[in-house]
Structure 1
Amino acid sequence: MHETSAGREFPAPHGRILIVDADPGAREMLSRAVTGLGHTVCHAAEPGPAAIDVPGAARPDVALIGLAAGEQAGLAVQTGERIAKRFGVPLVYATETTDAESLDQAQRTDPHGYVLKAGDPRQLGLVIRAALRATVRKSSDGQEANPDDMAPRPEWNSAILEGLFDNMSDAVIVADARGRFVAVNAAARRLSGTYDPSNPEQWSQHFEVYEADGRTPFATEDLPLTAAIRGESTGDALLRLRPRHAGAGTEDLWLRASGYPLRDAGGRCLGGTVVLRDVTAGPAQSARAKRIEAELHERVQVLDAIIRSMGDGVVVADAQARFTLFNPSAERIVGIGMTDRPPDEWTDLYGVFYADGVTPVPTDQLPVVRAVQGETVEALQLFVRNSRVPDGVYISVNASPVRSESGVVVGGVAVFRDVTQRRMEQEALTQAFAHGRLEVIDTVLHNIGNAINSVATGVDTLNGWFQDNELMRRFGKLADLVAAHDHDWISWLEHDAQGRQIRPFLLALVRDLTGEHEKLVGTAARVRERVRHIVDIIRTQASFTNSTVERKLVDLRATIRDAVKVVQESLGQRGVTIEVDCARAPHQILVQESRFQQMLVNLLKNAMEATDERAARPEDAPGWRPRIRVLAYRGEQKNTLVIDVGDNGIGIDPSHFGSVFNAGYTTKQDGTGLGLHSAANFVIGSGGSIQPLSDGIGHGATLRVTLRLVEEPRPQRSLVGRSE
């Protein structure tokens, strides 16, 4: 219930509201606001006939008309005039403009009031209630309603205007013709802080007014309120209110100010009104954004200069693996700059190979692609060769994902450097040691020496037999007796005691000759076997010295057997049992045969020498017998071969796992530390991996090699002569 100044109570009115606005979104917003206030939207339309030709059943009590600047304002005002003429209802303008021309047009329709289109719904409710109370509606029988049912208009309008004035979110100051403040609403009091906003002198004492640049003082005669008192309207001027001392605040206030003259019925200017909206947050945020943008731009410029001047190549890709940055050094190193071609074509375009120089890197293994997939790549060596870099370059690549603040991968970055010179130096060192073949040669010479010793022993046996043979002396004595009794041979054999011993002597001599013959045949066979073994070792080593890098299909089992054959003599002397299991491995593989065999020999020799070190500690396991096992099988990863060379030798301290493949690392007094280093170079250069496995000293070890299986390249069919 509402109470008038006379003390009468009357029910709060609820009415039917006609909403007119050119913007469908604004119509929807106003409709929700009106409905939320308990009223009914009888019709909603855009300015024009659709808003005027309302059916009688939808007759409104109040028309709420959206007012915008420009040509649309004219059409809205015309529509309002026709609605007022047809239905005789009050007009309320919901405005979003302070354009003086638009407001002047609206004022000619004698509206009941104005509200801000996006303002406080309470203001809208107060204005609509006032308009409804001012409406004299026809009763259902065609008679006018009793005037006593209506609130006394002067008192009611005064209460409505006062409520609207104090509930406005914008600050409003009204001054008379002499510039004295006659009305200040609550928002203006909040804006002024502890100072009396009705005293203009206090404003000037505590605040300075500047234009938007914050440096130019705003001329007093140009202030919106001053202009309004002169009878001029001012629309949406931007001011900066600066405190004169700390007591008035420390930060500038940004205000949007609109001034309107107050006129009497005769048009004489009685004073002016200024509406102030605090927009400090907007400019402050804009200024901060500009500062941040400037700082960011400066940092980007510095970062760009650093990246461009770096000697290392830097490439960046987005989450879709599209290049977004390719610095000059990157283009200089790989010969080709940034491309918009998809990653599937990068390997062929740039010519990216593993460090062996012949195995192409699959798309999903390219460092940038791996980084985009969330992986980190460290010190990966690759070989790049294309038409711009025909001799090729070796590069060392580090790559990592680029993540957002929430941890989502939004791209990847790769940094690489040209390590060709370093690689050449390493290869020169490796070549100086014959790619680790000194280890193999030492093994070969050792085994050949063992075989030659065996041959020499056999030859000495034969030589000794022929030079000083008891059977030959016995044959000589027999010949002498036969010659001495040539004239009485028969009688001597029959009657002489010595002659009668000839027969048993001959039988024993034949028996002894047969035994010696068997020994000689065995010795000769062993000599022949040793000689053949020497030939096999030399032939195998000759294949190792083949420097070609071409891959070919080889029989895996036969290749492992050949490697075992090289160290077989040494294994036999040590009593080492060796087992080879290739049941789960492919029959053939495409590989650089000589380097693959060399790697196997180095691993076998390492395993054999590990059993030597363990044999020197018999107290650890009295019943211990040396064993080596070679196990080859398909890896869990697609297209991989795993070869485990395990032994029950001395084992490896896990703290040394990271060093066992370094050049020069050895635990033997006479070791060179090149065998495992050479093996690791071949494996890693082929795109594979090698790792030591051991439970520690005294528990044996396994060296696990994982190689990528590469399919044999298929010959491309010529398209020449193909029929259409």
Structure 2
Amino acid sequence: MTARSNPDLPPDEVAERLFQSEHETLLRAILGNSTDGLFVVDAQGRSLYANDVARRILGPGFTHYDPRNWSERHGLFYPDTRTYYPTEQLPLYRSLQGEESPEVDLFIRNAAHPEGRHFRVRSMPVRDSQGLLLGAITNLKDTHDQRQAEAGQLRTKLRFQLMLETAQEGVWMIDADRRTTYVNQYAASLLGYTPEEMLGRHLFEFVYQQEHSRIVRDLMTQENEGQSVLLNDFRLMRRDGTLVWTLVAASPVLDESGKYLGSLAMITDISRRREDEEKVRRLNAELEQRIGERTAQLEFSNRELESFAYSVAHDLRVPLRSISNFTQALSEDCSATLDTTGLDYLQRIRASSQRMAELIDGILAISRVNSAELVETDVDLSGLAHTVAEQLQRWVPERTVRFRIRDGLVARGDAQLLRLVLENLMGNAWKFTREKPVAEIEFGIFPGVGHGRVYFVRDNGAGFDMEYQKKLFGVFQRLHTQQEFEGHGVGLATVQRIIRRHKGRVWGEGRVGEGATFYFTLHELTGTPPAFR
């Protein structure tokens, strides 16, 4: 039933009835100091009173138009900010029809609020004692900042949810009873479930049984000590019963007082990594097997080569000895019947056979170096160098040679083989300095180069052209003619093989007419040592 109204009642009289003179000052003080917006209209919707908050929310002149056009005139929308709110549904309009209206949320955008503003409104009709509709009182609450904050929180929540649901990593939360309270799509799909199927279910339903004690221990650590834990190679169970290998990083969830509420875990699928590691392990095993087989083949080949070299060397000695003996017999028994040219030919044949015998000895020497068992001890290199120097000097005592040997040099290695190294290097220095009136031969080290000790043998002899440096350590490779300096080109090749067996390197530097220096290392660390001058 529609309340009775009196359209002919003057506005002043309505105002007088709403604000009796004895209460007007008090009522205006209350309404004016309210934190909510309040305004009063008569039965025709004409404004009788509006406090500052109401005018700020609605803008000036809100009720100066026909109530039937309020929404369009004043820009009243649903909270979606796009759809006009029907005027006949406005709380104030309904109150002027004598209806009680619920509280509604509105959005206003007009010249006073070009950016728009959210507010909440509630209106109720006012009647006199006889039930005559006198007007309406409307209450307004500015909710713009609140709605903006809520919208921001919602956007943050949606972004967070989007991050969780699109992450290529599992997110899993359990409560203090170890029941699932949240799981993202990735984690659920990883185990063959939907997130809804996992909610509320106990953690152990998804954990491989042999991992139960491990996860209980770590969860107890979280609960008692509040510490994060990292579980590597942790096995979870898929719906179909298959295992999935994961990396789990779990952190405790605590309330404001520090009480344990549950745990948040990040789940990384490492199945592919495990498969790759297994492939690497299999490949390494196969590689080790192949290396073992190849090593055995090489060892067999080396033994065959050593046996062949020994056989060849032994078999060649007999005809060589015959050639040497017969040429000597011809020289002694038939010298009267041979002219000078014939005797020269015999001498050359004999010299060549002796040269071949030396080459055979060199082959055997290299063979012995490769086949000899390496017996490592602490070797006094300085003592060996002094011994070699004394031996060289005894062979040719008339030569003037100044030896400079650094004392106290001790290294780990095979004493017999390292002596052979010094005999070859110092013997070369002795040989190539014989044209010097005063020869100088030095044995020492360069300390502190970052790759261990670098030993050297230096002389002031004939030297060599660095253009031919790569030929130094080749078997039967020589940088000088036999007429200049005797030799068979095996000494440096032997040195290189001995040094390699001691996990070292050897290299040489020289300058024609100014001498040569040969460097070597033993048990060298990683990296390549620099060359020294």
- Structure 1 length normalisation: TM-score? 0.30
**Which gives a bigger RCO, structure 1 or 2 (Cα 8 Å, sep 6+)?**
2
- Structure 2 length normalisation: TM-score? 0.39
